[in-house]
Amino acid sequence: MEDIYIGTPNAKQDEFLRCKKKYVAFGGARGGGKSWAVRCKAKLLAQRYPGIRMLLVRRTMPEIEANHLETLRLELAGTAVYRAEERRFVFGNGSVLQFGYCACDRDADRYQGAEYDVIFFDEATQLKEQWMRKLAACVRGVNGFPKRIYYTCNPGGPGHGYIKRLFIDRRYEPGENGGEYAFIPARVTDNGALLARQPEYIRQLEALPPKLRAAWLEGRWDVLAGQVFQEFTDDPAHYADRRWTHVIRPFDIPREWNVYRSYDFGYAKPFSCGWWAVDFDGCVYRILELYGCTGTPDEGVLWTPERQFAEIRRMEDEHPYLRGRTIRGVADPAIWDASRGESIYETALKHRLFFEKGDNRRIPGWMQLHYRMSFDGEGYPMLYVFENCRAFIRTVPGLSYSTTAPEDVDTGQEDHAADESRYFCMMRPIAPRERTEIRRGPGETGGGGAPPPGPNSADGENAKFYTKGLDKLCSRAII
Q: How far is CA 403 from CA 102, 162, 210, 226, 407, in A?
A: 20, 22, 21, 10, 9
Looking at residue 396, its pLDDT comes to: 94
pLDDT in tens, 239-268: 999 999 999 999 999 999 999 999 999 999
Strand 383-386 relative to strand 284-291, pairing: parallel
Looking at residue 181, its pLDDT comes to: 98
Residue 426, classed as helix, strand or coil, is helix
pLDDT in tens, 29-58: 777 789 999 999 999 999 999 999 999 999
Spatial neighbors of 393 by CB under 8 A, at least 6 apart, are 234, 247, 385, 387
Q: Which residue has the higher pLDDT, 345 or 144?
A: 345
pLDDT in tens, 138-147: 999 989 899 9
φ, ψ dihedrals at 286, nearest 5°: -80, 110
Verdict on whether the full-model pTM lies above 0.75: no
Looking at residue 19, its pLDDT comes to: 96
d(CA 331, CA 422) in angstroms, rounded, equals 10
Q: Which residue has the higher pLDDT, 467 or 324?
A: 324
Which of 53-57, 272-276, 461-465 has the least mean pLDDT?
Answer: 461-465
d(CA 186, CA 189) in angstroms, rounded, equals 8
Asked if residue 273 lies in contact with residue 287, where contact means CB atoms within 8 angstroms, the answer is no
Mean pLDDT across the chain, nearest whole number?
A: 86
Give the pLDDT band of residue 62 (cuts 50, 70, 90): very high
Looking at residue 467, its pLDDT comes to: 32
Asked if residue 273 lies in contact with residue 289, where contact means CB atoms within 8 angstroms, the answer is yes
Looking at residue 240, its pLDDT comes to: 93
The residue-averaged pLDDT of 279-293 equals 97
Give the pLDDT band of residue 468 (cuts 50, 70, 90): very low
